Amino acid sequence: MRPRITLITLAVDDLQRALAFYRDGLGWPTEGIVGQQFEHGAVAFFELESGLRLALWPRASLAHDSGLAPGPRSPTTFCLAHNVGSRLEVDEAMAQAARAGAVVAKTARETFWGGYAGYFQDPDGHLWEVAWNPDLQLPEGAAP
């Protein structure tokens, strides 16, 4: 198996609310909700950089499709990271997420590893880190 991830799916409790957060609040492009004609098919996709896609799919639909019972939500099960090019960009991204309805879990601050980072949770509790790492070179032309 090749070490590749092409799609990250976040299970959400309210697809419309999650769509509004990512599309309207964070400004991420999407065609909106598709697949509504299928039972358990409604989903929203977002094209990310490097060919990666993010999907928002109702928690009940993911449970149905996987054959697993929905478990309790835990924001510390995993964390998604959004790296930017400066401390200022961290502050701007954190402020935008808060305006969009995110809960700031940890305000941005200097890190033990020499960077600058903060954490927020989206409306479904998914944890995001926004970080500037002085040792991480972002891809050429990458938007903040």
**Residue 113 corresponds to which tokens in the numbers above?**
């590893």
Report the SS3 class of residue 10: strand
Q: Does pTM top 0.85 for this prediction?
A: yes
CATH of 79-132, one of 3.10.180.10, 3.40.630.30, 2.40.50.140, 2.40.160.20: 3.10.180.10
DSSP state of 76: T
Which pLDDT tens digits describe the chain residue by residue (144 residues)? 999 899 999 999 999 999 999 999 999 999 999 999 999 999 999 999 889 999 999 999 999 999 999 888 898 889 999 999 999 999 999 999 999 999 999 999 999 999 999 999 999 999 999 999 999 988 765 554
CA distance 26 to 11: 18
CATH of 7-66, one of 3.30.200.20, 3.40.140.10, 3.10.180.10, 3.40.50.2000: 3.10.180.10
Sheet holding 79-84, edge to edge: 79-84, 127-132, 116-121, 103-110
